[in-house]
Amino acid sequence: MMATLYLDHPGATLQYADRRLKILCPENAVESLPLGSLERLVLTSRCQLDTGLLLQLAQRGIALSVLSPGVRKVALFQAHTHGDARRRYSQVVCCHQSQVRRRLAALLVARKLRQQAALLRSVARECPAHARVCAQTAERLQACAGRLAGRPPRLARLRGLEGAAAAAFYRSYRLLFAPSLGFHGRNHRPPRDPVNAVLSLAFVLLTHEAAIALATAGLDSAIGFYHGMGYRRPALACDLAELFRQRVAHWVWQLFRDRTLRREHFQHTERTCLLGKAGKQAFYRAWERGKPQLRQRLQREAARWASQFSVLHRRFANDAED
């Protein structure tokens, strides 16, 4: 079974030798494992990589993710895993058509709002003290999603609607956590409480998984239809991740509900809150348990998008010939 290696060892040097990944630690300890057993390498602290290792990772299709402390900066290195450029061309054509972008974006946001409503209804059954507030918010989100069934609005208006819905969602979602966690709503860059610290990290990992799924499906994660395209911004990966953020938010709530993560797992400073070493271990173990199902769903959705882009592109071509 292929594995993901999370490396949190400041100052380590990573090398490739004898078909193995060798990890040289500052205290002169050496660890190694077969490189062929890895599907992904995640670095969460500052270290050095040998160029020979980078070449092997690319040749073997092993994704490399680099997360800075506090998850303020992230990087993903992923070898191309699909050779059909026609898929990416169809994607570009569709994302260049304003009417198509608006329709796809409206469908995306409507699905997200319905998922937010479903999440609140689900967790409200376990939190009767807040069931009424959650149910009312769920009804408003569901109604908002229904209004998007008609003519799609302009993207700026759609983003404003989605932002207002997200604010309403988090006003109810925050009620599900213990007051001692200090979670009063969404904040990030940097996160200021344990819940936001975990949400930010989980959403980063989700977006990385979305980018890998899109590359596997032959799509370019930088060219999206809802999120604006920009320098080094994985717009389509952000689009795809929107459909799974509610699933991840539910999982984060379960981590705190089941006390897999607790307040003592976090380090607080004047401006930020970060997972400590024990907290990271607990988080990544839980993430790995749920990742296979999440990855399968992401890959299925990415493949559906690739097919949808191809169908729409052929429709444009046929209309042009007529």
Known binder of ligand: residue 227?
yes
Cβ pair 54, 43 in contact under 8 A: no
Cβ pair 52, 15 in contact under 8 A: yes
Query: Which residues does residue 42 pair with via DSSP β-bridges, in sequence order?
Result: 6, 65
What structural domains does the chain harbor? 3-67 (3.100.10.20), 85-321 (1.20.120.920)
| Cα separation, 279 vs 292, whole angstroms | 21
Known binder of ligand: residue 31?
no
- Written as one string, the DSSP assignment of 36-57 is GGEEEEEE-S--EE-HHHHHHH
| Cα separation, 48 vs 40, whole angstroms | 17
At CA 127, angle to CA 121 and CA 130, rounded to 5?
Answer: 80
**Alpha-carbon torsion, ordered 143, 145, 149, 153, to 10 deg:** 110
Known binder of ligand: residue 27?
no
Q: Treating both helix axes as pointing N-terminal to C-terminal, what angle do 245-257 and 98-124 enclose, rounded to 10 degrees?
A: 20
pLDDT tens series, the chain, 322 aa = 567 888 887 888 888 888 888 888 877 767 888 888 888 888 877 888 888 888 888 888 888 888 766 555 666 776 656 667 889 999 999 998 999 999 999 999 999 999 999 999 998 888 888 899 999 999 999 999 999 988 899 999 999 999 999 999 999 999 999 999 999 999 877 899 999 999 999 998 999 899 989 998 999 999 999 998 776 788 999 999 999 999 999 999 999 999 999 999 999 888 889 899 899 999 999 999 998 899 999 999 999 999 999 998 888 776 655 5
